[in-house]
Amino acid sequence: MNEPSIRQIRYFIAVANSGQISRAAMELNVSQSAVTTAVKQLEEIVGTQLLERHPGGVALTYEGNIFLDHARRIMAAVDEAVRSPRRRRDDVRGTLRLAMTYTVAGYFLPPYIERFVHAFPGVDLKLTEASRNAIEDGLVSGTFDLAVMLTSNIVNQEGLSYDTLLQSRRRLWLSSQHALLEQPSISLADVAAEPYIMLTVDEASNTAQRYWNRTSYRPHTIFRTSSVEAVRSMVASGMGVTILSDMVYRPWSLDGRRVEVILLADSIPTMDVGLAWATNVEQNSAVSAFREFMHIGEEQLAR
């Protein structure tokens, strides 16, 4: 049995991130045929369809979502293996007080924490989940050394510095039987005519309001919840639609119903995840090691 190549995995991740083979090819600086061939070969090796083709691009299948998680781990591990000789990790010691927001804690950070703890056993990692404003105050006051948070939500632009690691696009979520799936293009005007399930956690509703306010339309919100899983189940059952980022997207609700995703015709801002720290504060070796470690993931996701 053939083994997947690093190139095939890297091309697949690029397509999954961009949602379009043509866009992935541009980002990779290769031909569309090279990307198409690599993904097709990967699907043959894995033995299942990873992407569903549609007029607007491609979407991950259920198996594709599972494979994407493994693929990202593989690429991060490869990058880590290449970089590991550059640092004597056993020499990195100290305490790292790391804060994170709810969405980051649930949908982004755990695999990185697992690898960091294994790679840097001399670092005493203290983890805290907190709201965006509590994290900003904690970084400035010295309660936290570093945070992984939604950098697109940061308010304190003067007291904090940050690096964005991931820009997760926002797409429309809707049930597999929804009538909007038959339309060639969907706008915010179309969404405004539908019942809307509003996520509130991590200031999601405030963020949504900002891009809705750029238009003359408003979402017809019938339910507000802090639970992503509640949103997923309600959308999958046909109660309403929502616009959320790919980072929290999963194709199946807890009761086994499918959630479809569609790119909107309107420009919707990405949800940005990254590192934040207090400006002009000296950082110890543990903090520096974590920042460097996380940038491995940043470079892998950008490919």
Q: What percent of the chain has pLDDT over 70?
A: 93
Q: Tell me whether residue 31 is in a domain.
A: yes
The per-residue DSSP string of 280-295 comes to T----HHHHHHHHHHH
Q: Is residue 1 part of a domain?
A: no
Q: Cα(122)–Cα(22) distance, rounded to whole angstroms? A: 44
Report DSSP letters for 130-149, one per residue.
Answer: --HHHHHHHHHHTS-SEEEE
- Please say whether the beta carbons of 101 and 132 come within 8 A: yes
Please check whether residues 174 and 258 belong to one and the same domain.
yes
Give the sheet arrangement for strand 146-150, strand by strand.
123-129, 94-100, 146-150, 271-278, 160-168
Between residues 87 and 70, which one has the greater pLDDT? Answer: 70
Picking from 82, 104, 139, the residue at the C-terminal end of a domain is 82
Tokens representing 70 are: 């493994």
Tell me, yes or no, whether 232 and 256 share the same domain.
yes
For residues 11 and 38, the answer to whether their CB atoms sit within 8 Å is yes
Using the Cα atoms of residue 136, residue 121, residue 110 and residue 46 in order, give the sign of their dihedral: positive
> Do residue 163 and residue 296 come from a single domain?
yes
The whole domain housing 297 covers 89-168+272-302
* Residue 260 shares a structural domain with residue 181: yes
Which CATH number belongs to the domain containing residue 282 in this structure?
A: 3.40.190.10
Q: Would you place residue 196 in the very low, low, confident or very high pLDDT band (cuts 50, 70, 90)? A: very high
> What pLDDT does 92 receive?
85
- State the average pLDDT over residues 168-197: 95
Q: How far apart are CA 4 and CA 44, in angstroms?
A: 10
Lowest mean pLDDT, pick from 43-52, 87-96, 127-136, 175-184: 87-96
Q: Which of 29, 51, 82 is the last residue of a domain?
A: 82
Q: Are 103 and 201 in contact (CB under 8 A)?
A: yes
- Residue 227 CA to residue 44 CA, distance in Å, equals 37
Task: Tell me the pLDDT band of 303, cut-offs 50, 70 and 90.
Answer: very low
Q: What is the mean pLDDT of the chain?
A: 89
Supply the CATH number for residue 13's domain. 1.10.10.10
Tell whether 164 and 174 lie within a shared domain.
no
pLDDT tens per residue across span 148-168: 999 999 998 888 999 999 889
Q: Name the domain count of the chain.
A: 3
Residue 265 shares a structural domain with residue 276:
no
Q: Are residues 206 and 259 in the same domain?
A: yes
- Both 25 and 49 in a single domain? yes
Residue 1 has pLDDT above 80, yes or no: no
Shared-domain flag, residues 78 and 94? no
User: Whole-prediction pTM value?
Assistant: 0.71
* 114, 116, 120, 126 alpha-carbon torsion, rounded to 10°: -80
